[in-house]
A and B are shown apart, each in its own frame.
Chain A
Amino acid sequence: MEVGKSAIRVDAADKVSGGAKYTDDLIPRPHLVAKLLHADIANGVVRAIHTQEAARLPGVVKIVTCFDVPDIQYPTPGHPWSTETAHQDVSDRKLLETRVRYYGDDIAAVVAEDEVSAQRALKAIRVEYEEYEPLLTTQAATAEGARPIHDERPNNVLASMDLRTPMPESDFKTVEDVLACPAYHQFEGHYQTQMVQHCHIEPAVSYAYMEGGKIVVVSSTQIPHIVRRVCGQALGIPWGDIRVIKPYIGGGFGNKQEVLYEPLNAFLTRAVGGRCVKLELTREEVFQNTRSRHAISFDVKAAVDGDGNLMARWVKAVSNQGSYASHGHAIVANAVTGFRQLYLDQLGCHAEACTVYTNLPAPGAMRGYGIPQGDFAGECMMEDIARKFGLDPYEFRLRNIMPLGYVDPFNGITCHSTGLRECMEKGAEFIHWKELREKYQNQTGPVRRGVGMAVFSYKTGVWPISLETASARMVLNQDGSVQLQLGATEIGQGGDTVFSQMAAESIGFPLERVHIVSFQDTDTAPFDTGAYASRQTYVTGMAIKQTGEIFREKLLRYASEMLERPTAELDVRNGEIVDAATGEQVLRMYDLAQESFYSFRRTEHIAAESTHQCKDNTFAFGACFAEVEVDIPLGKVKVLRVVNVHDSGKLINPKLAEAQVHGGMSMGLGYALSEEMKFDAKGRLLNGNLLDYKLPTAMDQPDLTALFVETDDPTGPFGNKALGEPPAIPVAPAVRNAVLHATGVAVNDLPLSPQKLVEKFTQAGLIHNGR
């Protein structure tokens, strides 16, 4: 069994030794360097750009302004394309913009012999603007008379939705009727999340050149096949004229599930006759000019009966989309959907969501895709309801969680397996929930402790909201090993390792006989939409399993020819052909491979390739428990212990799964306590660097514990479900709920930063001072 083993990462040695090649390691030298000119207003129009002086500076090769690019608007999110116009992504961006929509918008690019020459040229460019008032909040953007940020959306609302679950037969016709019923406990709340960024180590970087009339783009991306499509769309050229290569990448977390600057890079190489142009963002540009996680505002209401059953809930979520649609409404739609799915309302749930354009940098996909926000609102709400009505927060959750067999009334996603209850039990046991909830009641003094929890559910992939398809190719080598080629991408999560394990498992090979091709080249890699939505072990896994079985059959057919025995009597085990009945080796794979390549009798280059279109989905689950110590006068929260317990179905590689959970928990802690993008009144990002943006360091991490409940999901290729994104989801509400337990102070907006806590503690009378 290769699946289920904690195999060492297939890329471990290369990555640890520094041998692994990332985009910047591969750039041919010499090459040209591109730098971007960013607008220094947040809302307005570029009237003129004066480049004459800059163009004369030494080393400057080409200056392209927003007046020089094709008049083509294109979409940027890493979604599968849709053949139906209505389901296609919003196309609202050009390569460079005359209509400035956020502070830092791209209005020109300089291509120069080196970075310093490019920088000096940027300084010498003069821009004339017509400036409008920045609309930074959803309220400002939707106020009467607000100027449209995109002409296609005159009211600045990108999209909105209203979802009411079908109501069972009862006296109540609507959720609102239930919420107004005096027989139930009534709850209302407001929760708000902040804008944060992925902070992948490797910035957005690409280089592009032309070869044989085609444009080649090498990029740090999660989605090479989608990048090819969008480059074609943005430049208005056939998609086959673009070739995208994806080397190892230093993290993405969803920011590289977006087509960032690859189209502009492709345009710039063409503008300089196909010479190689590098386009690498600074960290400051990564903050300002790439995506982030949406700030979402939630208003919620709930009705609960005397036994603690959730009767009905209402949620209204408003998402600040910033200046461009990117993944757009899909994220807040996912937020309210996840909010609804986690618990079953006895009578009904009503969810409203809308997405509003503003003059902020555009958020997009980030680990969890709306669920970290929705889960924060939902799990704060559950805690607050329990507290208000004297329910035990653990029992209250347990009573209402999604049952096995649940079918979402809108998209049909079904709960095929659930270990959520067991996750809660395991987490509670680890943290000593009952004992500490009791012990930490009624504390006094400046330093107090508390424990908090949160749970979540998360779907696996995007079906049926969007397409799910993946291909795999396996090619026999002359030595009896197999080459595995995929369009699915390794982005640091360990994808290549688990893909190799799954291939080995399905063929009957030992892991060391599987050679995965890590880099994707869209000219040769099979099609796959890439790394996002925690989909690859599930969807790509299905393609690998299916292709492995075909490959195995081909091996057996060839063996059958060689041995003159029926295939049914043969099997592939541990990489060799064996007698199926006795398990005895009857043919070495090496000999089979040699024969298949070099036989005078009949050669066959044994290979298999197949596509799997996944038309199912399943829920992963988990729970987080945190124990904190709050230093009230200093507003500091120290996380003493924190545990995530996950039901992601069967684990393909337990050690990698644990590492994935550690990373997600660390991200969740930053989301809970310190991370936040801050803007001034002009819409300028104040803390777009790693000093002022408070990403936790190694010194800020408590011990992280990852535990698992392994259900066997009937739809997963190997019983597995989503794990990529989920670990980041429940940590923030668990920490917030622990602080509430410790201090009695409910903080309803993220992050729980020291200044905010000092303000809240002062309001609550926990800090007394003479000022």
Chain B
Amino acid sequence: MYDITSVYQAKSVDDAIAALTADPQAVVIAGGTDVLIKIREGKLAGCRLVSIHGLTQELAGVTLAENGDVEIGPLTTFRGCTESPVIQKTVPVLGEAADTAGGPQLRAAGTLGGNLCNGITSADTASTQLAFGAILRVRGPQGVREVPISEWYQGVGKVALAHDELLVKIVIPQSHYRGWSGHYIKYAMRNAMDIATLGVSCLVKLTADKRGVEDLRLAFGVAGPVPMRCLETEQAMVGLPVEEAAEKIGPSALGEVQPRDSWRASRAFRLQLVEELSKRAFVEAVRKGGGAL
């Protein structure tokens, strides 16, 4: 039994924004896989909910825009993302990352928007979206604005979203994914129903002969307080033969990450994972891109 004071079922995005504007304490619920847990733990006990769960017409689904951009409705579930033909064709690594979250039940309920809006570092789809440089379209009482995902994370559990705003679209521009291949590794203690000890997403654009790195993206979850990219490493790998990049990427990433010591895993252990998994993710990304390693 959950301690919920009230649930308002929003009829539209505008209606949800109006409801949030009217109630500064209200909490948005979509898939519920985070919010219900917080209510059960007591952190949100007695809360008033504004549910956008039913707004699938406006907010769910993945489409390919005419300009080739991938447009993901934030109510798209993990499973919806994985199974989307558009995702599979354009940014398959995002579908693969989504398929590592929790278990089948969670993936049928949890949403990609929620995975970004909760602002947590271990979110399985966050590092890949960060690597792709997704554009987050946000709507509030004043209208629509666009936030590059690089400016989204403001601190632990804090994102660039006002109380009366909703994330309404995740856009991956065509120029960010065409010619790229990627690989995501979730390192966890179990093969299912687990939270990442470390998540690594590596995207690579190979040279025409498939032997060199033309460009690279390396993003992590749980390597710092929020999902993060290793910009210096990305730069340093550009122009290297893939063999050399494979050797250098791990040690280089170590200089940029800031994992913490916690009872779940030590900093030293996470650093070892950063070094090893950067390499493994890179190697797989190269293979997927047609390179040989």
With A686-B263, A694-B189 in contact, is A633–B1 under 8 Å at CB? no
Q: Is B42 an interface residue (CB 8 A)?
A: yes
In the complex, A238→B271 CA distance in Å?
Answer: 62
Contacts of A669-704 to chain B: CB distance below 8 A: 674, 678, 680, 686-687, 690-692, 694, 696-700
**Provided the pairs A119-B3, A697-B103, A770-B251 are in contact, do residues A674 and B272 lie with their beta carbons within 8 angstroms?**
no
A24 at the interface (CB under 8 A from B): no
Q: List 8 A-B contacts (CB under 8 A).
A: A115-B1, A120-B45, A123-B42, A691-B193, A694-B194, A754-B189, A754-B197, A755-B265
Q: Which of A597-644 contact B (CB under 8 A)?
A: 633-635
Would A114 and B1 count as touching, CB distance under 8 A? yes
Cβ distance A288 to chain B, nearest Cβ, rounded Å: 14
Chain A residues contacting B42 (CB-CB under 8 Å) are 119, 123
The reply to whether A678 and B263 contact each other, CB–CB distance below 8 Å, is yes
**Contact at A120–B190, with CB atoms within 8 Å?**
no
Within 8 A of A (CB), among B138-189: 187, 189
Q: A633-B276, A634-B273 are in contact. Are A692 and B192 (CB under 8 A)?
A: no
Given A755-B265, A755-B269, is A674 in contact with B251 using a C-beta cutoff of 8 Å? Answer: no
Which of A116, A699, A700 has a CB less than 8 Å from the CB of B1?
A116
Instruction: Verify if A753 is at the interface (C-beta below 8 Å from B).
Output: yes
Is B195 in the interface zone, CB < 8 Å from A?
A: yes
A447 CB, min distance to chain B CBs, angstroms: 12
Q: Find out whether the CB atom of A769 lies under 8 angstroms from the CB atom of B275.
A: yes
Is B6's beta carbon under 8 Å from chain A? Answer: no
| Chain B neighbourhood of A692, CB < 8 A | 264
- Interface SS, A side: loop
* A737-768 with Cβ < 8 A to chain B: 753-755, 758-759, 762, 767
B187 touches A674 (CB 8 A): no
A771 touches B191 (CB 8 A): no
Beyond A116-B2, A691-B195, A755-B269, 9 additional pairs, beta carbon < 8 A: A115-B1, A120-B46, A635-B272, A691-B193, A696-B190, A697-B192, A753-B189, A754-B269, A759-B269
Q: Does B266 contact A (CB under 8 A)?
A: yes
Chain B residues whose CB sits within 8 angstroms of the CB of A674 once the complex forms: 189-190
For the complex, what is the distance from the CA of A227 to the CA of B203, rounded to whole Å? 61
B269 and A691 contacting across the interface, CB-CB below 8 Å: no
With A678-B263, A680-B263, A686-B263 as contacts: A691 and B194 at CB distance below 8 Å: yes
Which A residues lie within 8 Å of B276 (CB)? Answer: 633-634
Q: How distant is B193 from chain A, measured CB to nearest CB, in Å?
A: 5
Given A678-B263, A755-B265, A767 contacting B272 (CB threshold 8 A): yes
A742 to B204, CA, bound (A): 35
Interface membership of B254, Cβ < 8 A: yes
Count how many chain A residues have C-beta atoms less than 8 Å from C-beta atoms of the other chain. 33
The reply to whether B272 and A769 contact each other, CB–CB distance below 8 Å, is yes
Nearest-Cβ distance from residue A745 to partner chain B, whole angstroms: 15
Interface 0/1 of A111-144, CB less than 8 Å to B? 0001110011001000000000000000000000
Residue of A nearest to B277 (CB): A634
Residue of B nearest to A634 (CB): B276
Residue in A635, A700, A758 whose beta carbon sits within 8 Å of that of B190 in the complex: A700
Report yes or no: B192 in contact with A699, Cβ–Cβ below 8 A.
Answer: yes
Closest to B251 in A: A770
Q: Which residues of A contact B195 (CB under 8 A)?
A: 691
For window 222-266 of B, CB contacts with A under 8 Å fall at: 251, 254, 263-266
Smallest CB separation, A580 vs chain B (Å)? 59
A27 to chain B, nearest CB (A): 14
Q: Give complex CA distance A754, B45 in Å.
A: 36
Instruction: Tell me the minimal C-beta distance from B125 to chain A in angstroms.
Output: 18
Q: How far is the CA of A502 from the CA of B29 in the complex (A)?
A: 56
**B279 nearest CB neighbor, chain A only:** A633
Residue of A nearest to B102 (CB): A691
Interchain CA distance A767-B275 in the complex, whole Å: 11
Q: How far is the CA of A116 from the CA of B47 in the complex (A)?
A: 13
Which residue on A lies nearest to B3, using beta carbons? A116
Set of chain A residues within 8 Å of B271, measured between Cβ atoms? 771
Contacts of B264 in A (CB 8 A): 692
Q: A633-B276, A697-B103, A754-B269 are in contact. Are A771 and B192 (CB under 8 A)?
A: no
Please, which residues of chain A bring their CB within 8 A of the CB of B45? 119-120, 123
B190 x A694 contact (CB < 8 A) = yes
Residues of B within 8 A of A680 (CB): 263
- CA distance in complex: A22, B195 (Å): 32
Question: Given the complex, which residues of B lie within 8 Å of A753, measured CB to CB?
Answer: 189
Whether A755 and B266, one on each chain, are in contact in the complex, defined by CB atoms closer than 8 angstroms, is yes
Contacts of B266 in A (CB 8 A): 755
Which A residues from 708 to 753 make CB contacts under 8 A with B?
A: 753
Q: Which residue of B lies closest to A693 (CB)?
A: B189
- Would you call B190 and A697 a contact (CB within 8 A)? yes
> Taking CB as reference atom, which chain B residue is nearest A119?
B3
Closest to A770 in B: B251
CA distance A250 to B197 in the complex (A): 31
Q: Which residue of A lies closest to B276 (CB)?
A: A633
What is the CA–CA distance of A691 and B193 in the complex, to the nearest angstrom? 7
**Chain B residue at minimal CB-CB distance from A698:** B192
Closest to B273 in A: A634
Bound: A409/B20 CA distance, A:
76
A696 to B194, CA, bound (A): 10
Contact flags A526-547 to B (C-beta < 8 A → 1, else 0): 0000000000000000000000
Pick the residue among B1, B46, B187, B193 that contacts A697 (CB under 8 A).
B193
In the bound complex, what is the Cα–Cα distance between A119 and B272 (angstroms)? 43
Q: Kindly state the separation between the CA atoms of A694 and B191 in the bound complex, as whole angstroms.
A: 11
Report the bound CA distance from A753 to B190 in whole Å: 11
* Docked complex Cα distance between A678 and B251 (Å): 32
In the bound complex, do residue A758 and residue B269 qualify as a contact, i.e. CB atoms below 8 Å apart?
Answer: yes
Q: Which residues of the partner chain B approach A699 to less than 8 Å between Cβ atoms? A: 190-193
CA of A290 to CA of B193 in the docked complex: distance in angstroms?
24
Residues of B within 8 A of A697 (CB): 103, 190-193
Chain A residues, Cβ within 8 Å of B2: 116
Tell me which residues across on chain B come within 8 A of A771, comparing CB atoms. Answer: 254, 268, 271
B188 CB to nearest chain A CB (Å): 9
- A115: B residues at CB distance < 8 A: 1
CA distance A700 to B192 in the complex (A): 8
**Chain B residue at minimum C-beta to C-beta distance from A755:** B269
Residues of A within 8 A of B272 (CB): 633, 635, 758, 762, 767, 769
Instruction: For A690, list chain B residues within 8 Å (CB).
Output: 193
C-alpha gap A344/B42 in the complex (Å): 56
Interfacial chain A residues near B194, Cβ < 8 Å? 691, 694
B residues near A123, Cβ cutoff 8 Å = 42, 45
Contacts of B3 in A (CB 8 A): 116, 119-120
Closest Cβ of chain B to A752, distance in Å, is 12
Residue of chain B at shortest CB distance from A284? B41
Complex formed: what's the CA distance from A762 to B271 in Å?
Answer: 13
Question: In whole angstroms, how far apart are the Cα atoms of A119 and B275 in the complex?
Answer: 46
A464 to B54, CA, bound (A): 65
Chain B residues contacting A758 (CB-CB under 8 Å) are: 269, 272
